[in-house]
Amino acid sequence: MTVGGLEAADTAGSSPASDTSTTASAASSSAATTETNSPDADTSADFWDNMATREYLFGDVWGARPAMENMGLDLSVSFAMNIAGNPVGGVSQGVTQLNSTGINFGADMDKLVGLEGLTFFASMSIRGGTSLSLTRIDNVINVQQLYGNETYRLVNLYLEQVLMDGNFAIKAGRIAQFDDFSHSDAFAYYMNNAFDGQPVGFFFMGPFTAYPVTTWGALVRGGFLTDDTGGFYGMLGAYGADNSLSDWDNHGTDFSFNFNMGANIMGEIGYKHNWSAQAEGLPGKYALGGWTFTGPMPTHTGGTAQNTSGLFYLVEQALYREGLPELEPNSERMQAQQVWGQDEGFLEEIQGLYFWSTGQLNLDNDVAQADFFVSAGLYYRGLLPGRDQDILSFGAAWLNFSDNFGSSQVVAGLPRQDYELELELSYRYQVTQYFYLQPNIQGVINPGAAHKIDDAFVIGLQLQVDF
């Protein structure tokens, strides 16, 4: 049975013994046809057709959603869940789940009050559940990316102003670095926290923030086209650095400016080519960046250090695409916002094979736990016929702890940590536009990074519903 349709009943019987049985068979067939074409059947078919094709589970909410959009308002709610179990390895075997509800609100201030290019955005999260990594595997990098701040929390609260015909923008308020820096939509095609969300290596090198934890910050970014298929972009941001920002008790509503680790200054420059749905070539993005913490940071020897820093890179490149776009004569291949903006939704229109890689290098091993982190992966959008939005992905990530950190562990009587390796193979099945299921298998090599725990094999399921 196909979604949204009714399969006709089979009314064929054995060979008729008389005209009476033939007449009865015809009557039965007529009755079945009448029943299939009845108003009730049509209503049921229309209902399931609508459910299968709508963008959100609740559709337009009886006209409320388009009415809000016409006013310049947007309200969205999504629910995600990570289920994982380790039948092999770790310290014990078991199954856990983590869940997260996200509520986002946006306002186009041009439509509301005539302030062109200005938008307002606010969001909150509600999280719950238990981590398999903490309770069963005892490894460093969580195998469920939804782990963190299992409570209700205010997340974003900021304004963004776009200027100069879309070539330049300013954002300020309660924000997180990795909504903008070292960002790729490809990270969402995994469940392990080494990949999903943002590159996890940053958090072993300083007090960074990422969803659902934010801090006061400001960001400027812009770009320019070099031709009709490519362009450069740059970003520079400053964020308050405080190791207490993730405390649960304030639920994200501590708006003080008491940053005990100074400020985190981040920058990124990059080049994009064929970065639009209208481009005929293979989309690619290449970025380099760095950061500096201005405040005092504790060292592994008990002292303090100032102005600690590091570097990072991000590469994304399509390797193969299925088909070319149908272009209008003299159509524009790219726009300024696609150079510096983070909207990568156009990639959903391009089926094919993609490669990505990212890494972070710490420049002060007296401070950070890790000296480098590197991850890479491949994914194919639309591999199976008729499944254009399904995604098959594979990823590998290596977290390397610094020698200085390892030496301090030995002095403290703890096992020396050196590395942990994460592997994931995943398939996202896009059931509808608003719902996907993503089964995955993961390998955790050297859990805990100290060669004390058996390698773990994890079976997981990630799902999300957009209401």
In 3D space, the residue among 65, 73, 180 whose CA is nearest the CA of residue 122 turns out to be: 73
Note the helical H segments in 54-91: 64-71
State residue 13's pLDDT score. Answer: 37
State residue 12's pLDDT score. Answer: 36
Helix (H) or strand (E) holding 348: none
State residue 306's pLDDT score. Answer: 83
Asked if residue 195 lies in contact with residue 396, where contact means CB atoms within 8 angstroms, the answer is no
Q: Which residue type sits at 141?
A: I
Task: Kindly report, residue by residue over 393-416, the tens digit of the pLDDT.
Answer: 999 999 999 999 999 999 999 999
In 3D space, the residue among 212, 222, 338, 240 whose CA is nearest the CA of residue 283 turns out to be: 338
Asked if residue 214 lies in contact with residue 253, where contact means CB atoms within 8 angstroms, the answer is no
Q: pTM of the prediction?
A: 0.85
* The pair of three-digit structure tokens given for residue 292, joined into one six-digit string: 């500096």
State residue 15's pLDDT score. Answer: 35
Q: From first to last of the 467 residues of the chain, give the pLDDT tens digit.
A: 333 333 333 333 333 333 433 333 443 444 444 444 555 666 777 777 778 888 888 888 888 999 999 999 999 999 999 999 999 999 999 999 999 999 999 999 999 999 999 999 999 999 999 999 999 999 999 999 999 889 999 999 999 999 988 889 999 999 988 989 999 999 999 999 999 888 999 999 988 888 999 999 999 999 999 988 899 999 999 999 887 777 878 888 888 887 777 899 999 999 999 998 888 899 999 999 999 999 888 888 888 888 889 999 999 999 999 988 776 655 566 787 788 887 788 888 899 999 999 999 999 888 889 999 999 999 999 999 999 999 999 999 999 999 999 999 999 999 999 999 999 999 999 999 999 999 999 999 999 999 999 999 999 999 999 99
State residue 38's pLDDT score. Answer: 57
In 73-227 the beta strands, taken as DSSP E runs, fall at 73-90, 95-108, 118-129, 152-163, 168-175, 215-225
Q: Which residue type sits at 279?
A: A
What whole-number distance in Å separates Cα of residue 401 and Cα of residue 204?
9
Architecture of the domain whose range is 54-466: Beta Barrel (2.40)
Q: How many C-beta atoms surround the C-beta of residue 161 within 10 A? A: 15
